[in-house]
Amino acid sequence: MAFQLPDLPYPKDALEPHIDALTMEIHHDKHHAGYTKKLNAALEGTGWENRTIEDILANLKDLPADKQTAVRNNGGGFINHSIFWATMSPNGGGEPTGAIKHAINEKWGSFDAFKEAFAKTAATQFGSGWAWLGYSKEEGLHLHGMPNQDSPALHGHVGILGIDVWEHAYYLNYQNRRPDYISAWWNVVNWDEVNKRYAAAKG
């Protein structure tokens, strides 16, 4: 069963004015679709087609060497964007609730301090990449700036909340003003979904 491009869980204009409809359309229908198609093409004939994307990325070094780069880039693009759409909502924003709120406060002291650290990770990621709030049993919650389409799953970690800071994620609306995009993005963060991901990761 090949990997399938997930539908957006809301209309393309639902995140306006924070993320515009044309950016969402190109980002989902072209970029994410492209990663999905190229991931499937790279896995074809490897015998890895039916493994989960988390399992594939965590065990990448066992793939044939000539497939590893394509699967790292496109498999990362596939999972990263799948999480990205799900952790945004037109009804999002505000402050975290539930277990993630307590965990953030415990680790960073306050939501504002966490936001500042996360936004700094995102703003200072050089070139294309992501900022992630990840989780692992060993480290608990932690922040990662990751280049290109590298994913927390490469390290066997769970991506709980990530922001895409590739220019394709914001350039139409924000041009070079990455910090403005990051500030606006907090208005669409779906904390209910973040809590679900955190609960599932902790097990």
Backbone angles phi, psi at 34, to 5 degrees: -65, -45
- Smallest gap, in angstroms, from Cβ of residue 135 to Mn ion? 21
- Closest CB to Mn ion among 167 and 192? 167
Binding mask 105-144 for Mn ion (x = CB under 5 A): ----------------------------------------
Binding to Mn ion by CB under 5 A, coded x per residue (else -) over 72-111, reads ----------------------------------------
Which residue has the closest beta carbon to Mn ion? 164
Determine the size of the site formed for Mn ion (CB under 5 A): 2
User: Which listed range, 66-74, 87-95, 126-134, 160-168, lies at the site for Mn ion (CB under 5 A)?
Assistant: 160-168
**Contact residue for Mn ion among 54, 150, 164, 193 (CB under 5 A):** 164
Q: Identify which of residues 166 and 185 has a Cβ nearer to Mn ion in the complex.
A: 166
Q: Which is nearer to Mn ion, 135 or 166 (CB)?
A: 166
Q: Which stretch binds Mn ion (CB under 5 A): 58-66, 94-102, 136-144, 162-170?
A: 162-170
* 70 vs 108, beta carbon nearer Mn ion: 70
Shortest approach of Mn ion to residue 95 CB, angstroms? 26
- CA-CA distances (angstroms) from residue 28 to 6, 73, 87, 169? 9, 16, 14, 10
Q: Applying CB under 5 A, does 150 fall inside the site for Mn ion?
A: no
Strands 140-147 and 129-136, bridge-based pairing: antiparallel
SS (H, E, C) the chain: CCCCCCCCCCCCCCCCCCCCHHHHHHHHHHHHHHHHHHHHHHHCCCCCCCCCHHHHHHCHHHCCHHHHHHHHHHHHHHHHHHHHHHCECCCCCCCCCHHHHHHHHHHHCCHHHHHHHHHHHHHHCCCCEEEEEEEECCCEEEEEEEECCCCHHHHCCEEEEEEECCHHHCHHHHCCCHHHHHHHHHHHECHHHHHHHHHHHHC
Of 81 and 115, CB closest to Mn ion: 81
Nearest CB to Mn ion, comparing residues 118 and 166:
166
The C-alpha atoms of residue 40 and residue 48 are separated, in whole angstroms, by 10
Where along the sequence are the contacts to Mn ion (CB under 5 A)?
A: 164, 166
